[in-house]
Protein backbone atom coordinates (compact mmCIF):
# COMPACT_ATOMS: atom_id res chain seq x y z
CA UNK A 1 0.00 0.00 0.00
CA UNK A 2 1.29 3.47 -0.90
CA UNK A 3 1.86 5.63 2.18
CA UNK A 4 1.70 9.37 2.34
CA UNK A 5 4.98 11.27 2.25
CA UNK A 6 5.44 14.51 4.19
CA UNK A 7 7.06 17.70 2.93
CA UNK A 8 7.92 20.35 5.54
CA UNK A 9 8.19 23.65 3.77
CA UNK A 10 9.63 27.00 4.75
CA UNK A 11 10.75 26.39 8.34
CA UNK A 12 13.90 27.39 10.21
CA UNK A 13 15.90 24.19 10.50
CA UNK A 14 17.67 23.96 13.84
CA UNK A 15 19.67 20.74 13.77
CA UNK A 16 22.15 20.46 16.67
CA UNK A 17 23.18 16.99 15.51
CA UNK A 18 24.80 18.64 12.47
CA UNK A 19 25.35 22.08 14.00
CA UNK A 20 23.01 23.77 11.50
CA UNK A 21 20.66 26.72 11.88
CA UNK A 22 19.27 27.95 8.58
CA UNK A 23 16.01 28.64 6.79
CA UNK A 24 14.45 27.90 3.43
CA UNK A 25 15.23 24.24 2.78
CA UNK A 26 12.31 21.82 2.34
CA UNK A 27 12.41 18.55 4.26
CA UNK A 28 10.97 15.41 2.72
CA UNK A 29 9.94 12.35 4.73
CA UNK A 30 9.29 9.08 2.92
CA UNK A 31 8.64 5.67 4.50
CA UNK A 32 9.50 7.00 7.96
CA UNK A 33 12.88 8.44 7.01
CA UNK A 34 14.32 11.72 5.81
CA UNK A 35 14.62 11.58 2.03
CA UNK A 36 15.92 13.45 -0.97
CA UNK A 37 13.60 15.42 -3.23
CA UNK A 38 13.26 12.64 -5.80
CA UNK A 39 12.18 9.83 -3.48
CA UNK A 40 8.49 10.61 -3.04
CA UNK A 41 7.65 9.20 -6.46
CA UNK A 42 3.95 9.25 -7.29
CA UNK A 43 2.66 8.79 -3.75
CA UNK A 44 0.52 11.48 -2.08
CA UNK A 45 2.50 14.19 -0.31
CA UNK A 46 1.24 16.01 2.79
CA UNK A 47 2.52 19.60 2.79
CA UNK A 48 3.20 21.24 6.18
CA UNK A 49 3.69 24.99 6.03
CA UNK A 50 6.43 25.69 8.59
CA UNK A 51 6.80 29.43 8.03
CA UNK A 52 7.80 31.03 11.32
CA UNK A 53 8.43 27.65 12.96
CA UNK A 54 11.57 25.92 14.16
CA UNK A 55 12.13 22.45 12.69
CA UNK A 56 14.05 20.42 15.29
CA UNK A 57 15.03 16.75 14.89
CA UNK A 58 14.45 14.17 17.65
CA UNK A 59 13.83 15.87 20.96
CA UNK A 60 14.70 13.58 23.86
CA UNK A 61 13.55 13.79 27.48
CA UNK A 62 15.92 11.36 29.15
CA UNK A 63 14.39 11.58 32.64
CA UNK A 64 10.72 10.57 32.74
CA UNK A 65 8.69 8.62 35.29
CA UNK A 66 6.00 6.75 33.37
CA UNK A 67 4.93 4.91 36.56
CA UNK A 68 3.85 1.73 34.77
CA UNK A 69 3.90 -1.09 35.76
CA UNK A 70 2.20 -0.86 39.10
CA UNK A 71 1.40 2.83 39.63
CA UNK A 72 -1.18 3.43 36.94
CA UNK A 73 -3.22 5.72 39.20
CA UNK A 74 -0.40 8.24 38.69
CA UNK A 75 0.42 7.69 35.00
CA UNK A 76 0.45 4.98 32.35
CA UNK A 77 2.82 4.45 29.47
CA UNK A 78 -0.01 5.52 27.17
CA UNK A 79 -0.93 8.72 29.03
CA UNK A 80 2.77 9.55 29.41
CA UNK A 81 3.31 8.92 25.70
CA UNK A 82 0.43 11.26 24.90
CA UNK A 83 1.95 13.92 27.14
CA UNK A 84 5.29 13.48 25.41
CA UNK A 85 3.72 13.79 21.95
CA UNK A 86 1.87 16.94 23.03
CA UNK A 87 5.08 18.40 24.39
CA UNK A 88 7.02 17.74 21.18
CA UNK A 89 9.11 14.93 22.69
CA UNK A 90 10.01 12.05 20.36
CA UNK A 91 11.96 9.94 22.87
CA UNK A 92 11.49 9.42 26.61
CA UNK A 93 13.90 7.73 28.96
CA UNK A 94 11.65 5.65 31.24
CA UNK A 95 12.93 5.58 34.82
CA UNK A 96 12.79 2.26 36.70
CA UNK A 97 11.11 3.24 39.99
CA UNK A 98 7.96 1.36 39.05
CA UNK A 99 6.18 -1.39 41.00
CA UNK A 100 7.91 -3.79 40.71
CA UNK A 101 11.18 -1.98 40.08
CA UNK A 102 12.42 -2.36 36.50
CA UNK A 103 15.45 -4.44 37.46
CA UNK A 104 15.13 -7.45 35.11
CA UNK A 105 15.50 -7.87 31.35
CA UNK A 106 11.90 -9.08 31.16
CA UNK A 107 10.56 -5.81 32.58
CA UNK A 108 12.87 -3.78 30.34
CA UNK A 109 11.50 -5.62 27.30
CA UNK A 110 7.92 -5.22 28.46
CA UNK A 111 8.19 -1.44 28.94
CA UNK A 112 9.79 -1.02 25.53
CA UNK A 113 7.21 -3.28 23.90
CA UNK A 114 4.35 -1.34 25.50
CA UNK A 115 5.75 1.97 24.29
CA UNK A 116 6.24 0.62 20.78
CA UNK A 117 2.71 -0.79 20.69
CA UNK A 118 1.24 2.59 21.65
CA UNK A 119 3.31 4.18 18.90
CA UNK A 120 3.27 7.83 20.00
CA UNK A 121 6.82 8.22 21.25
CA UNK A 122 9.94 6.11 21.52
CA UNK A 123 10.27 4.66 25.02
CA UNK A 124 13.87 3.95 26.00
CA UNK A 125 13.93 1.92 29.23
CA UNK A 126 16.41 2.79 31.97
CA UNK A 127 17.07 -0.24 34.15
CA UNK A 128 17.73 -0.18 37.87
CA UNK A 129 21.32 -0.14 39.13
CA UNK A 130 20.56 -2.36 42.10
CA UNK A 131 18.01 -5.06 42.77
CA UNK A 132 14.77 -3.43 43.90
CA UNK A 133 16.77 -0.16 43.91
CA UNK A 134 17.81 -1.11 47.44
CA UNK A 135 21.50 -0.17 46.95
CA UNK A 136 22.61 -3.58 48.25
CA UNK A 137 23.22 -5.83 45.23
CA UNK A 138 23.82 -5.00 41.57
CA UNK A 139 21.03 -5.83 39.17
CA UNK A 140 21.87 -7.77 36.01
CA UNK A 141 23.11 -4.78 34.01
CA UNK A 142 24.47 -6.82 31.12
CA UNK A 143 21.23 -8.68 30.40
CA UNK A 144 19.14 -5.53 30.83
CA UNK A 145 21.30 -3.74 28.28
CA UNK A 146 20.85 -6.67 25.90
CA UNK A 147 17.08 -6.33 26.44
CA UNK A 148 17.12 -2.65 25.48
CA UNK A 149 18.13 -0.58 28.53
CA UNK A 150 19.98 2.58 27.47
CA UNK A 151 21.17 3.49 30.99
CA UNK A 152 20.89 2.43 34.63
CA UNK A 153 19.58 4.38 37.59
CA UNK A 154 17.97 3.98 40.99
CA UNK A 155 16.51 7.47 40.59
CA UNK A 156 14.20 8.40 43.39
CA UNK A 157 16.71 6.68 45.64
CA UNK A 158 20.42 7.49 45.63
CA UNK A 159 22.97 4.73 45.21
CA UNK A 160 24.13 5.18 48.78
CA UNK A 161 26.82 2.51 48.82
CA UNK A 162 30.13 3.75 47.43
CA UNK A 163 31.22 0.16 46.93
CA UNK A 164 28.14 -0.56 44.82
CA UNK A 165 28.51 2.68 42.85
CA UNK A 166 32.12 1.80 42.07
CA UNK A 167 31.04 -1.63 40.80
CA UNK A 168 28.26 -0.12 38.68
CA UNK A 169 30.59 2.43 37.12
CA UNK A 170 33.12 -0.33 36.40
CA UNK A 171 30.40 -2.22 34.52
CA UNK A 172 29.46 0.96 32.65
CA UNK A 173 33.02 1.30 31.39
CA UNK A 174 32.63 -2.08 29.68
CA UNK A 175 29.02 -1.69 28.58
CA UNK A 176 29.54 1.95 27.47
CA UNK A 177 26.19 2.68 29.11
CA UNK A 178 25.86 5.45 31.73
CA UNK A 179 24.97 5.20 35.38
CA UNK A 180 22.49 7.97 36.28
CA UNK A 181 22.57 8.80 39.97
CA UNK A 182 20.13 10.78 42.08
CA UNK A 183 22.93 12.68 43.74
CA UNK A 184 21.93 12.98 47.37
CA UNK A 185 23.51 11.91 50.64
CA UNK A 186 20.66 10.17 52.50
CA UNK A 187 22.10 11.02 55.91
CA UNK A 188 22.08 14.75 55.09
CA UNK A 189 18.68 14.79 53.38
CA UNK A 190 16.60 12.53 55.60
CA UNK A 191 13.22 14.10 56.40
CA UNK A 192 13.92 17.26 54.38
CA UNK A 193 11.21 18.65 52.09
CA UNK A 194 12.53 22.09 50.98
CA UNK A 195 15.83 23.89 50.55
CA UNK A 196 17.63 24.63 53.79
CA UNK A 197 17.36 28.37 54.35
CA UNK A 198 15.33 31.25 55.79
CA UNK A 199 12.23 30.71 53.62
CA UNK A 200 11.76 27.08 54.55
CA UNK A 201 12.72 27.85 58.12
CA UNK A 202 10.03 30.52 58.47
CA UNK A 203 7.49 28.03 57.15
CA UNK A 204 8.61 25.41 59.65
CA UNK A 205 9.58 22.96 56.92
CA UNK A 206 12.62 20.71 57.24
CA UNK A 207 15.43 21.89 54.97
CA UNK A 208 17.88 20.02 52.73
CA UNK A 209 21.35 21.62 52.43
CA UNK A 210 22.96 21.96 49.04
CA UNK A 211 25.84 19.93 50.47
CA UNK A 212 23.55 16.88 50.51
CA UNK A 213 23.75 16.97 46.72
CA UNK A 214 27.31 18.16 46.17
CA UNK A 215 28.89 15.61 48.55
CA UNK A 216 27.37 12.84 46.43
CA UNK A 217 28.30 14.46 43.12
CA UNK A 218 31.92 14.75 44.24
CA UNK A 219 31.92 11.09 45.32
CA UNK A 220 30.49 9.95 42.01
CA UNK A 221 32.84 12.11 39.94
CA UNK A 222 35.87 10.70 41.75
CA UNK A 223 34.57 7.14 41.29
CA UNK A 224 34.01 7.83 37.57
CA UNK A 225 37.64 8.89 37.35
CA UNK A 226 38.77 5.80 39.28
CA UNK A 227 36.83 3.34 37.11
CA UNK A 228 36.72 5.04 33.72
CA UNK A 229 32.95 4.59 33.86
CA UNK A 230 30.19 6.71 32.37
CA UNK A 231 28.38 8.89 34.91
CA UNK A 232 25.36 11.11 34.35
CA UNK A 233 24.33 13.41 37.20
CA UNK A 234 20.56 13.86 37.37
CA UNK A 235 18.86 17.21 38.09
CA UNK A 236 21.92 19.14 39.30
CA UNK A 237 21.19 22.29 41.35
CA UNK A 238 24.06 23.20 43.70
CA UNK A 239 27.05 25.45 42.85
CA UNK A 240 29.45 23.02 44.56
CA UNK A 241 28.09 20.25 42.32
CA UNK A 242 28.96 22.41 39.33
CA UNK A 243 32.52 22.68 40.67
CA UNK A 244 32.69 18.87 40.71
CA UNK A 245 31.49 18.78 37.10
CA UNK A 246 34.16 21.32 36.16
CA UNK A 247 36.77 19.11 37.83
CA UNK A 248 35.49 16.12 35.85
CA UNK A 249 35.66 18.10 32.62
CA UNK A 250 39.22 19.27 33.28
CA UNK A 251 40.30 15.67 33.96
CA UNK A 252 38.47 14.29 30.89
CA UNK A 253 36.23 11.97 32.91
CA UNK A 254 33.17 10.52 31.15
CA UNK A 255 30.72 12.65 33.13
CA UNK A 256 27.60 14.48 31.93
CA UNK A 257 24.80 16.24 33.78
CA UNK A 258 21.28 17.55 33.39
CA UNK A 259 19.18 20.39 34.74
CA UNK A 260 15.40 20.69 34.84
CA UNK A 261 13.25 23.57 33.58
CA UNK A 262 11.79 24.09 37.06
CA UNK A 263 15.24 24.59 38.57
CA UNK A 264 16.12 26.99 35.73
CA UNK A 265 12.92 29.03 36.01
CA UNK A 266 12.06 28.90 39.70
CA UNK A 267 13.78 29.46 43.03
CA UNK A 268 12.68 28.77 46.57
CA UNK A 269 10.81 32.09 46.35
CA UNK A 270 8.06 30.04 44.67
CA UNK A 271 7.20 28.74 48.15
CA UNK A 272 6.08 32.25 49.04
CA UNK A 273 3.78 32.30 46.00
CA UNK A 274 2.26 28.87 46.59
CA UNK A 275 2.53 28.72 50.37
CA UNK A 276 2.04 25.21 51.73
CA UNK A 277 0.76 23.81 48.43
CA UNK A 278 3.02 20.79 47.70
CA UNK A 279 3.00 21.67 44.00
CA UNK A 280 6.44 23.21 44.71
CA UNK A 281 7.73 20.09 46.45
CA UNK A 282 10.45 18.63 44.22
CA UNK A 283 13.58 16.62 44.87
CA UNK A 284 16.14 18.17 44.80
CA UNK A 285 14.27 21.19 46.16
CA UNK A 286 14.01 24.56 44.51
CA UNK A 287 17.17 26.42 45.48
CA UNK A 288 18.13 30.04 46.11
CA UNK A 289 18.08 32.75 43.45
CA UNK A 290 21.90 32.82 43.42
CA UNK A 291 22.10 29.04 42.92
CA UNK A 292 19.60 29.27 40.06
CA UNK A 293 21.74 31.94 38.41
CA UNK A 294 24.86 29.82 38.84
CA UNK A 295 23.08 26.91 37.17
CA UNK A 296 22.07 29.05 34.19
CA UNK A 297 25.65 30.28 33.86
CA UNK A 298 26.88 26.67 33.88
CA UNK A 299 24.44 25.90 31.06
CA UNK A 300 25.81 28.76 28.96
CA UNK A 301 29.36 27.53 29.55
CA UNK A 302 28.52 24.01 28.37
CA UNK A 303 29.15 22.46 31.78
CA UNK A 304 25.63 20.98 31.89
CA UNK A 305 24.77 19.49 28.51
CA UNK A 306 21.20 18.26 29.01
CA UNK A 307 17.81 19.58 30.06
CA UNK A 308 15.32 16.91 31.17
CA UNK A 309 11.90 17.31 32.72
CA UNK A 310 12.14 14.81 35.60
CA UNK A 311 8.47 14.27 34.77
CA UNK A 312 6.99 12.95 38.03
CA UNK A 313 3.19 12.77 37.84
CA UNK A 314 1.11 12.07 40.94
CA UNK A 315 -2.56 11.54 41.66
CA UNK A 316 -4.32 14.69 42.84
CA UNK A 317 -5.22 13.08 46.19
CA UNK A 318 -1.54 12.43 46.89
CA UNK A 319 -0.50 15.99 46.14
CA UNK A 320 -3.37 17.29 48.30
CA UNK A 321 -1.73 15.93 51.43
CA UNK A 322 0.07 18.26 53.90
CA UNK A 323 3.42 19.50 52.55
CA UNK A 324 5.52 17.16 54.64
CA UNK A 325 3.51 14.09 53.63
CA UNK A 326 2.95 14.80 49.92
CA UNK A 327 5.20 13.11 47.35
CA UNK A 328 7.99 14.95 45.56
CA UNK A 329 7.68 15.82 41.87
CA UNK A 330 5.95 17.78 39.13
CA UNK A 331 4.38 16.88 35.80
CA UNK A 332 6.84 18.29 33.28
CA UNK A 333 6.64 16.68 29.83
CA UNK A 334 4.22 19.22 28.38
CA UNK A 335 6.19 22.25 29.57
CA UNK A 336 9.70 20.98 28.73
CA UNK A 337 10.22 22.77 25.40
CA UNK A 338 8.58 25.98 26.58
CA UNK A 339 10.61 25.88 29.77
CA UNK A 340 13.88 25.77 27.83
CA UNK A 341 12.86 28.60 25.52
CA UNK A 342 11.52 30.74 28.35
CA UNK A 343 14.49 30.17 30.66
CA UNK A 344 17.36 30.26 28.18
CA UNK A 345 16.41 31.68 24.76
CA UNK A 346 14.02 34.52 25.59
CA UNK A 347 16.40 36.19 28.10
CA UNK A 348 19.27 35.85 25.60
CA UNK A 349 21.35 33.36 27.58
CA UNK A 350 21.53 30.99 24.60
CA UNK A 351 20.91 30.90 20.89
CA UNK A 352 18.14 28.62 19.65
CA UNK A 353 20.78 26.19 18.34
CA UNK A 354 22.54 26.04 21.70
CA UNK A 355 19.29 25.62 23.63
CA UNK A 356 17.88 22.92 21.38
CA UNK A 357 21.16 20.99 21.70
CA UNK A 358 20.24 20.48 25.35
CA UNK A 359 17.17 18.53 24.22
CA UNK A 360 18.68 16.69 21.25
CA UNK A 361 22.42 16.12 20.84
CA UNK A 362 23.12 16.41 24.58
CA UNK A 363 20.89 13.50 25.66
CA UNK A 364 22.13 11.33 22.78
CA UNK A 365 25.73 11.91 23.81
CA UNK A 366 24.98 11.32 27.48
CA UNK A 367 23.25 8.03 26.64
CA UNK A 368 25.86 7.09 24.00
CA UNK A 369 23.14 6.70 21.36
CA UNK A 370 23.91 7.61 17.72
CA UNK A 371 21.64 9.82 15.61
CA UNK A 372 22.45 11.82 12.47
CA UNK A 373 19.76 14.50 12.60
CA UNK A 374 18.01 15.61 9.42
CA UNK A 375 20.06 13.50 7.03
CA UNK A 376 18.82 11.35 4.12
CA UNK A 377 18.14 7.84 5.33
CA UNK A 378 17.91 8.72 9.03
CA UNK A 379 14.74 7.92 10.97
CA UNK A 380 12.38 10.91 10.73
CA UNK A 381 11.71 12.12 14.26
CA UNK A 382 11.07 15.85 14.13
CA UNK A 383 9.24 18.54 16.08
CA UNK A 384 7.91 21.84 14.73
CA UNK A 385 7.99 24.59 17.34
CA UNK A 386 6.41 28.02 17.41
CA UNK A 387 9.09 29.97 19.32
CA UNK A 388 6.95 33.11 19.68
CA UNK A 389 3.78 31.54 21.04
CA UNK A 390 2.93 32.87 24.48
CA UNK A 391 0.60 30.66 26.51
CA UNK A 392 -0.70 30.26 30.03
CA UNK A 393 -0.14 26.85 31.58
CA UNK A 394 -3.44 25.14 32.35
CA UNK A 395 -2.80 21.70 33.86
CA UNK A 396 -6.43 20.75 33.30
CA UNK A 397 -5.51 20.54 29.61
CA UNK A 398 -2.54 18.22 30.17
CA UNK A 399 -2.63 14.82 28.50
CA UNK A 400 -0.64 13.51 31.46
CA UNK A 401 -2.66 12.10 34.33
CA UNK A 402 -0.47 14.22 36.58
CA UNK A 403 -1.71 17.81 36.85
CA UNK A 404 0.85 18.80 39.50
CA UNK A 405 2.86 21.78 38.23
CA UNK A 406 4.10 25.00 39.84
CA UNK A 407 3.78 26.64 36.41
CA UNK A 408 -0.03 26.58 36.60
CA UNK A 409 -1.26 30.05 35.68
CA UNK A 410 2.22 31.14 34.54
CA UNK A 411 2.94 32.39 31.03
CA UNK A 412 5.55 30.47 29.06
CA UNK A 413 6.93 31.18 25.61
CA UNK A 414 7.33 28.59 22.85
CA UNK A 415 5.24 25.54 22.10
CA UNK A 416 5.32 22.41 19.95
CA UNK A 417 2.94 22.59 16.98
CA UNK A 418 3.68 19.25 15.27
CA UNK A 419 5.36 16.12 16.57
CA UNK A 420 6.44 13.56 13.98
CA UNK A 421 7.83 10.19 15.12
CA UNK A 422 9.03 7.61 12.63
CA UNK A 423 7.53 9.65 9.81
CA UNK A 424 4.07 9.62 11.45
CA UNK A 425 2.35 12.79 12.64
CA UNK A 426 1.44 12.01 16.25
CA UNK A 427 0.52 15.55 17.35
CA UNK A 428 -0.90 18.36 15.24
CA UNK A 429 -1.79 21.87 16.44
CA UNK A 430 -1.94 20.76 20.08
CA UNK A 431 -4.05 17.64 19.46
CA UNK A 432 -2.52 14.21 20.00
CA UNK A 433 -3.64 11.75 17.35
CA UNK A 434 -4.68 8.15 17.78
CA UNK A 435 -2.35 5.72 19.47
CA UNK A 436 -0.98 2.66 17.71
CA UNK A 437 -0.11 4.48 14.50
CA UNK A 438 2.98 2.45 13.79
CA UNK A 439 5.49 0.06 15.20
CA UNK A 440 8.35 2.33 16.22
CA UNK A 441 10.92 -0.47 16.28
Distance of alpha carbon 101 from alpha carbon 396, whole angstroms: 30
Q: Under a CB-based contact definition with an 8 Å cutoff, are residues 340 and 261 in contact?
A: yes
Q: How far, in Å, CA of 388 to CA of 381, rounded? A: 22
Sheet of 20-23, strand order: 20-23, 12-15, 54-57, 382-392, 411-421, 424-428, 431-432
Cα dihedral 268, 160, 72, 103, rounded to 10, equals: 150
The Cα 256–Cα 310 span in angstroms is 16
3-class DSSP assignment, residue 374: coil
Give, in order, the Cα–Cα distances in Å from 428 to each of 86, 88, 107, 397, 421.
Answer: 8, 10, 32, 15, 12
| Distance between CA atoms of residues 418 and 6, nearest Å | 12
Q: Residues comprising the binding site for Zn(2+)?
A: 63, 65, 155, 182, 235, 310
Is 310 in the active site? yes
Strand partners, 13: 22, 55
Asked if 367 contacts 93 with a C-beta cutoff of 8 angstroms, the reply is yes
Residues placed in the known binding site for substrate: 65-67, 97, 283, 314, 328-329
Pairing of strands 207-208, 255-259: unpaired
Residue 316: CB atoms within 10 Å: 11
Instruction: Using CB atoms within 10 Å of the CB of residue 19, give its burial: 0 to 12 exposed, 13 to 18 middle, 19+ buried.
Output: exposed
Q: Which of 330, 180, 340 is nearest to 254 (CA)?
A: 180
Buried b (16+ CB within 10 A) or exposed e, 382-409: bbbbbbebebebebeebbbbbbbbbbbe
Distance CA 431, CA 187 (A): 45
Identified catalytic residue from 103, 310, 381, 415:
310
Task: Say how many C-beta atoms besides its own lie within 10 A of residue 156's C-beta.
Answer: 18
The residues annotated as belonging to the active site are 310
Amino acid sequence: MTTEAIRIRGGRIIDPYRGLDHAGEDILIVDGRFATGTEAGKRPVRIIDAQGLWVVPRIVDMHVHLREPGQTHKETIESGSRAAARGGVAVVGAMPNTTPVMDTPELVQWVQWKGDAIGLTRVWPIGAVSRDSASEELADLYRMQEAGAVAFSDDGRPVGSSRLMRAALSYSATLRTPIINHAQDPSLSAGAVVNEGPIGGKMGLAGMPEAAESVMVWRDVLLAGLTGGRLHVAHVTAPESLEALSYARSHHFLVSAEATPHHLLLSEDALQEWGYDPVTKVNPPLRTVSSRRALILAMTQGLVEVVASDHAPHHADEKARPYGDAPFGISGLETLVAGVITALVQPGHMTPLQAMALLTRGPHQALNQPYAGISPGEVADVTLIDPQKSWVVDPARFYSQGKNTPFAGHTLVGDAVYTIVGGQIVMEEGEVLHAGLSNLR
